[in-house]
């Protein structure tokens, strides 16, 4: 049992859940850890190669059913996200965007033809998807999106731009959200369609082991069957975000655990003033406080996962998990950095990389402020968004 499992939470997991976790952890140990520091430093990641390996293990869209998807439980998916982000947030983002955003949107709102066309290849990692909702001028306010889709005979013409889109530079299909005369609608857009341009965003200081892009849509002509027939209104993309946020609730704990394990190992082996750092009261206080918060976060994630598996998980409950767990994971990463001292900023240790990544996780899929307002609306019955 891990020394971080102060509350014996492991005993609450089924044998199957522990086995799935072990398989993903070993994959991360073998395929991610030896290379991720270099990927991060270089700002490059072999995303297609990783996607195929993840597909072989059934990690892509693993909580979906049919079409080559594994049909795993929400808790099993969460544990997989935790292990992936213990490797790197960018690696977990690859899986999360593929499965919980792009694949989920097609699985939930697409036609049978769209599902058959895209989902088996995406589940295998042979096709990469992205999710185009955020725009250059509209991040937290998707209701103000400027991307438009207009009818032209039986076709649709899309014009606009999307920004900060994970997987966009290598995507085969983009789930693009646009405003129409009938409201917000979603489209499955092959990324090689004339008029679609994806440009990689470089010089990031965070999520450097993740491919992020800007998508330009210049009068993109699509057939009528490109529209996701069941995606009607803004609730459709927001439901996809809720799906993805559940994975983040777990994933952030993976980054925090990796930081804690690094700090604990360092503190017990690094000697100052004639004794290990772990022997000092201030160091033990830091470790104790962080371990308590990590265990609380894991209990919260597990509770939300069980609710999801029972079909009872509500969006504001996911907001509680995302707000708390990402915020606490970032605090843990920063505190662990202090234990490592100057070595905390070295790429030889994972702590600063996780801290930098968590700055992005804090923002995407809803900023902390947005989740506070979601929770506030639930508490008061009053919307403070406008």
Q: What angle do CA 337, 343, 344 make, to 5 degrees?
A: 20
Per-residue pLDDT tens over the stretch 169-218: 999 999 999 999 999 999 999 999 999 999 999 999 999 999 999 999 99
Domain ranges of the chain: 9-124, 129-232, 235-380
Name the percent of the chain lying above pLDDT 90.
97
CATH superfamily of 9-124: Acyl-CoA dehydrogenase/oxidase, N-terminal domain (1.10.540.10)
| Cα-based torsion angle of the residue sequence 211, 214, 219, 223 in order, rounded to the nearest 10 degrees | 30
Question: Is the per-residue pLDDT at 74 higher than 90?
Answer: yes
Q: Which of 214, 293, 328, 365 is catalytic?
A: 365
Per-residue pLDDT tens over the stretch 217-276: 999 999 999 999 999 999 999 999 999 999 999 999 999 999 999 999 999 999 999 999
Tell me, yes or no, if 365 is annotated catalytic.
yes
Cα separation values, 193 from 172, 220, 341, Å: 10, 7, 51
Sorted by sequence, the CB contacts under 8 Å of residue 197 that are 6+ apart come out as: 215, 216, 218
State the Cα–Cα distance between residues 349 and 344, nearest whole angstrom.
7
Could you say which of 3.30.479.10, 1.20.140.10, 3.90.1150.10, 1.10.10.60 is the CATH number of the domain covering 235-380? 1.20.140.10
- Assess if CATH 1.10.3720.10 describes domain 129-232: no
Per-residue pLDDT tens over the stretch 286-300: 999 999 999 999 999
pLDDT of res. 357: 98
**What's the whole-model pTM score?**
0.96
Lowest-confidence region among 46-60, 103-117, 131-145, 167-181: 131-145
């Amino acid at each position: 049992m891990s020394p971080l499992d102060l509350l014996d939470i492991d005993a609450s997991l089924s044998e199957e859940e522990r086995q799935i976790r072990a398989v993903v952890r070993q994959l991360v140990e073998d395929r991610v850890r030896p290379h991720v520091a270099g990927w991060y430093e270089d700002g490059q990641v072999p995303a297609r190669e990783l996607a195929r390996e993840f597909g072989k293990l059934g990690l892509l869209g693993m909580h979906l059913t049919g079409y080559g998807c594994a049909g795993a439980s929400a808790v099993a998916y969460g544990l997989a996200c935790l292990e992936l982000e213990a490797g790197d947030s960018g690696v977990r983002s690859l899986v999360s965007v593929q499965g919980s955003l792009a694949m989920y949107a097609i699985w939930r709102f697409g036609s049978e033809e769209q599902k058959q066309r895209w989902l088996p290849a995406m589940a295998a990692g042979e096709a990469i998807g992205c999710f185009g909702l955020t725009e250059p001028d509209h991040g937290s306010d998707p209701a103000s999106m400027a991307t438009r889709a207009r009818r032209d005979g039986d076709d649709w013409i899309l014009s606009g731009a999307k920004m900060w889109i994970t997987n966009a530079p290598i995507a085969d299909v983009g789930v693009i959200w646009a405003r129409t005369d009938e409201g917000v609608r979603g489209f499955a857009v092959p990324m090689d369609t004339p008029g679609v341009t994806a440009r990689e965003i470089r010089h990031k200081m965070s999520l450097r082991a993740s491919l992020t892009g800007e998508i330009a849509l210049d009068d993109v002509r699509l057939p009528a069957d490109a529209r996701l027939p069941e995606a009607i209104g803004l609730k459709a993309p927001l439901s996809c975000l809720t799906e993805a946020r559940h994975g983040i609730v777990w994933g952030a704990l993976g980054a925090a655990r990796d930081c804690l394990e690094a700090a604990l190992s360092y503190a017990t082996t690094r000697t100052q003033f004639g004794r290990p750092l772990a022997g000092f009261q201030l160091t033990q206080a830091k470790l104790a406080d962080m371990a308590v918060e990590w265990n609380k976060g894991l209990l919260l994630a597990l509770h939300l996962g069980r609710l999801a598996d029972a079909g009872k998980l509500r969006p504001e409950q996911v907001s509680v998990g995302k707000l708390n767990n990402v915020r606490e994971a970032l605090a843990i990463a920063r505190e662990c950095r202090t234990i490592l001292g100057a070595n905390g900023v070295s790429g030889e240790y994972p702590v600063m990389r996780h801290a930098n990544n968590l700055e992005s996780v804090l923002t995407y899929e809803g900023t902390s402020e947005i989740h506070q307002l979601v929770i506030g609306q639930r508490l008061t019955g009053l919307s403070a968004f406008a």
